[in-house]
Amino acid sequence: MFWQQLINGLTLGATYALIALGYTMVYGIIQLINFAHGEIFMVGAFVGVLAITILKVNIFVAMFLAMLVCMALGVTAERIAYRPLRRSDRLAPLISAIGVSIFLQTLMTVIFGPQPQAFPQVVEDALYKLGPVQVSRVQIIILVVASFLMVGLHLIVKYVKIGKAMRAASEDYDTAALMGINVNRVISFTFALGSLLAAAGGVLVGMYFNSVFPLMGVQAGLKAFCAAVLGGIGSIPGAMLGGIFLGIAEVLGIAAGYGDYKDAVAFTLLILVLLFRPTGLLGRPVQRKV
């Protein structure tokens, strides 16, 4: 029973982690809480549904298309709504992000209506027994895709030149610019990467829960954001750890009979962790300059 819940929690957590990575990377570089990120995730899920129903492609091609669309969307949103505000007060880009999020939510509600849409059955139901636990084919796909993307992200950030530039910019934005790094390009790239992961998360979540709806980004986005903070915002391994931790905690909470309070589990954990480790599990302490 426990191991079964652990697998379920891991699956849920992997999707949270995929979304959380976008929050954490953007925050790491420009200190912006990108509240429109949950909506990118939602748009990704819808593009996945459209690709499967209209273009009749398989799930992986659909996911790829969703990634492309969301990458364009994320980069455009950054260009229009956040870049002009980069040098202003911290709250201005935040409000702008909320504006983008309201815009996307309403846009999708106008196009598709507020009611949930069924996600087409693309993967046949099949259960595999692994000792005491049962794993469905959908869960395996989620876990494999998520790990593949996370390893890919790790390799890009660690070994590719633009990944190194990202790390430099998150270390010190201004010095990175002085060293000849084109920070605008780095930020665009960060938004592209984050949106790509969110889109994949959107398609996977849609497939897992069999439904997509215009407001699905709100709760998922908030929880993923919690996961990012829990792990230490700005830290990529932190976001992965936070997401998985949160997913497992939530599933165990439901299993323990607190299903009504499942949405509060994440936030209670978040507040507790923040009180004892104010910068999250893997976060570095904030330096206070006098």
Partner 1 sequence: MLDMFTQNINPYYLQVANLLGIYIILALGLNLITGVTGQLSFGHAAFMSIGAYTAALLTLKMHLPFALSLLAGGCVACIWGVLIGFPTLRLTGDYLGIATLGFGEIVLVVFTNLQITGGAIGLAGIPRYTNVFVVYLLVAITVYCMYRIQYSRFGRALLAIREDEIAAAAMGINTTIYKVQAFAIGAFFAGLAGGLYAHLLQYLNPNDFGFARSFEILNFVVLGGLGSIPGTILGTVVLTLAPEFLRFIAEYRMMIYGLLLVVMMIFRPNGLLGGVDLSRVIKRYRSKRLERASARSISSS
Instruction: Give the residue from 205, 45, 39 showing the smallest Cα distance to 107.
Output: 39
Element spanning 233, H or E: none
The answer to whether 24 and 234 have CB atoms below 8 angstroms apart is: yes
SS3 54: helix
**Structure tokens given for 207:** 């497939």
For 127, the 3-state DSSP assignment is: strand
Q: Does 92 bind partner 1 (CB under 8 A)?
A: yes
| Residue 184 interacts with partner 1 (CB under 8 A): yes or no | no
- Asked whether 39 and 100 are in contact (CB, 8 A), the reply is yes
- Alpha carbon distance, N-terminus to C-terminus of the chain: 53
- For residues 108 and 143, which CB has a smaller minimum distance to partner 1 in the complex? 108
Contacts to partner 1 from residues 28-67, by CB under 8 A: 31, 33, 35
Taking contact as CB under 8 A, which single stretch among the options 27-35, 43-51, 157-165, 201-209 is the one that binds partner 1?
27-35
Residue (104 or 138) nearer to partner 1, CB: 104
- State both tokens at 73: 């969307």
Q: Is 75 in the site for partner 1 (CB under 8 A)?
A: no
128 vs 261, beta carbon nearer partner 1:
261
232: contact with partner 1 by CB under 8 A: no
Which one among 55, 98, 179, 256 touches partner 1, defined by CB under 8 A?
A: 98
Tell me if 271 contacts partner 1 by CB under 8 A: yes
Identify the residue whose tokens are 């998520």: 146
Nearer to partner 1, 128 or 258 (CB): 258
Contact region with partner 1 (CB under 8 A), list: 59-67, 121-129, 193-201, 264-272: 264-272
Q: Quick one: CA dihedral 153, 155, 160, 166, positive or negative?
A: positive
107 interacts with partner 1 by CB under 8 A? yes
Among residues 216 and 229, whose Cβ is nearest to partner 1?
Answer: 229
How far is it, in rounded angstroms, from Cα 26 to Cα 29? 5
Half-sphere exposure (CA, 13 Å, Cβ side) for 180? 1
Q: Give the residues lining the site for partner 1 (CB under 8 A).
A: 27, 31, 33, 35, 80-81, 84-85, 88-96, 98-107, 109-110, 218, 222, 225-226, 229, 233, 260-261, 263-264, 266-268, 270-271, 274-275, 278-279, 286, 288, 290
